Amino acid sequence: MARRVPLLWAAKLLPYRRRQCRLGNDESLPWRDAGLDSKCVAGHSVASALAEGGLGVRSLADYVRVFSMKLWWRFRGKSSLWSEYLHGRYCRNLHPTVVPYNRNHSPVWHRLCRIRDVVEPFLFWTLGEEETVSHLFIESAAVQDVWQQFVAIFGLCLCDTGSLTHMVHFWRYSTPFHSDLHIQTLIPFLILWFTWTLRNAAKQFLEPPKYVCWCAPSPSWFKLNTDGYSLGNPGLAGAAGIIRDSAGYVHLAYQFALGTGTSVLAELTAVWRGMELALTHGLGPLVVEVDTTAISLLKSRAFGMWEVQHLIMRIVRLKQLLVADVQHVFREANGAADHLAKEAASLQLTRVLHHDDITGVLRGILCFDIQEAPHLRRG
């Protein structure tokens, strides 16, 4: 194999794409092994092999191309602050391969866009040596719990064949409608998709997902789930909550428009309004489930935060009157309150709902809560 010519030589030769270059007879030059005193080549042939009339050096254009491919791989891996930033700035809710090209974007993004169509076909997910399709999607303990939850909801008997194809066919033909758009036909595909995405996330972050669900309170107790939402923080804000008993029956739900406000104000307003309504309707003793922000402020009493201090003092007083136990809840297990809060903020709604007033998406969320359907949480 011929020895490499210094990169500086190649850099000087690259601009002369159509000019012939005559190089001397330095002992270190690769063509000296062939018994030649000098070498005359065209500029565009410098990077060709010696047998093809070139100098046997590597092309700088190829170097740039390879490093651009490596850059795209690092970007797609999202394993650094740099890649996270580029995803957030240019991709947002779009897949990186479909983001439109814009001349106003940065030179780095231009470089990535030029190479993405070349690299992307060679990027794909594979199972590890210890994994099989059947184990990942059907046989593992975690996914078995998910299948069993949905089988119980639809009143079916789980097909235990170990075949992914048989499982999908079982769900499709277990309903007399045989419609591709029927919810019972779509359920297995949703389970497979979320199982795959969570598996990949667990592999990347090396943290096993947690199972969380809404749990009913003890008999004779009521549970208040609250949430606040702000579009922009500060921006249009809303507070909401829902009170249920040990059977999951909704005694009341509420939404409260706040105009322009912060998420902290919305969270604490949701707790205060919910406890006040519970006291008015005699719904106690009470378990109050709130998110991390609200519970940390209530524990510290938020001394110095004058804009929410009056709400904290009201909540402390209501807690004593109601015999209330304030607890933390993960967002995934707080879907009903989250849905109400987002609706209150975007539509600026202020109202109180009872069991018969609940319809649509909220009714579906409540049905899943009653079944204690598990949600997977990463981190």
41, 230, 304 from 307: Cα distances, Å: 78, 16, 9
Which of 60-69, 195-204, 319-328 tops mean pLDDT?
319-328
Give first-to-last CA distance, the chain, whole Å. 52
Q: Give the integer Cα–Cα distance in Å for 356 and 360.
A: 12
Mean per-residue pLDDT for 291-305?
A: 73
6, 41, 235 from 28: Cα distances, Å: 10, 18, 70
Q: What is the pLDDT of residues 174-231, one digit of tens each?
A: 777 666 777 888 888 899 988 888 787 776 655 666 788 999 999 999 999 999 999 9
φ, ψ of residue 238 in degrees (nearest 5)? -150, 150
Q: What is the pLDDT of residues 255-275, one digit of tens each?
A: 999 999 999 999 999 999 999
Residue 215: in which H helix or E strand, if any? none
The amino acid at residue 35 is G
> Would you say 191 and 143 are in contact if contact means Cβ atoms under 8 Å apart?
yes
96, 123, 192, 335, 367 from 201: Cα distances, Å: 18, 16, 14, 22, 28
More confident residue, 298 or 256: 256
Of the CA atoms within 13 Å of residue 360, those in its CB half-sphere come to: 6
Write out the DSSP string of 230-243.
EETTTEEEEEEEEE
Would you state the pLDDT for residue 17? 46
Q: What is the three-class DSSP state of 62? A: helix
Q: Give the integer Cα–Cα distance in Å for 272 and 315.
A: 5
